[in-house]
């Protein structure tokens, strides 16, 4: 599984260099919302919420039907209502979310994993004027027991 995380991090860093922070998701956004502190800088990508359903393949290996969730978080301090004249910032945020998807769709992170395939996406806001675009990818993984 670690190769999947590293593969995602490296691909995002390579193709979207304007991100200021890329890391494993261990609750940084929730911490910022609760404590008025900023453990991350924006825009950022957080990788986490993995899930696998494992089954035996022979006596030495297991196959996992797995998923990983990638969050793009951006601050929304720009005035983006239509008459503000800066509503194109909405398009910029959506375009960056699209770039994250395009960077990862079909990515093969290791020799024992199938390419990533998007299975779910959503967008939501959290306190502090932060917009989160969340995309979940599925893949199959084979590991030694």
pLDDT at 31: 78
Q: Give pLDDT tens digits for 92-144.
A: 999 999 999 999 999 999 999 999 999 999 999 998 889 999 999 999 999 98
> Which pLDDT band holds residue 7 (cuts at 50, 70, 90)?
very high
pLDDT at 26: 92
The CATH code of domain 2-140 reads 3.30.2000.10
C-alpha 90/C-alpha 65 separation (Å) is 35
Instruction: Kindly tell me if the per-residue pLDDT of 20 is higher than 70.
Output: yes
* Other C-beta atoms lying within 10 Å of the C-beta of residue 63: 17
**Whether the predicted model's global pTM rises above the 0.85 cut:** yes
Decide: 42 and 71 in contact? Cβ < 8 Å.
Answer: no
Q: What is the mean pLDDT of residues 63-80?
A: 89
pLDDT at 122: 98
The CA angle 97-16-13, to the nearest 5 degrees, is: 120
pLDDT at 105: 99
Where would I find the beta strands (DSSP E) of 11-129? 21-24, 44-57, 61-75, 117-126
Sheet with 44-57, edge to edge strand ranges: 21-24, 44-57, 61-75, 130-144, 117-126
pLDDT at 88: 77
Q: Give pLDDT tens digits for 25-36.
A: 999 988 766 666
Instruction: Kindly tell me if the per-residue pLDDT of 81 is higher than 80.
Output: no
> Which pLDDT band holds residue 39 (cuts at 50, 70, 90)?
confident
């Amino acid at each position: 599984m670690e190769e999947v995380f590293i593969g995602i991090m490296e691909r995002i860093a390579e193709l979207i260099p304007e991100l200021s922070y890329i890391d494993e998701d261990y609750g940084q956004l929730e911490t910022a919302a609760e404590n008025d502190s900023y453990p991350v800088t924006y825009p950022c990508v957080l990788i986490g919420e993995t899930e696998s359903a494992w089954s035996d393949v022979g006596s030495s290996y297991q196959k996992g039907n797995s998923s990983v969730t990638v969050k793009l978080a951006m601050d929304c301090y720009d005035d983006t209502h239509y008459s503000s004249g800066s509503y194109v910032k909405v398009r910029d945020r959506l375009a960056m979310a699209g770039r994250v998807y395009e960077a990862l769709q079909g990515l093969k992170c290791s020799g024992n994993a199938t390419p990533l395939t998007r299975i779910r996406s959503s967008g939501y806001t959290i306190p502090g004027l932060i917009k989160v675009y969340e995309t979940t990818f599925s893949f199959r993984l084979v590991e030694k027991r």
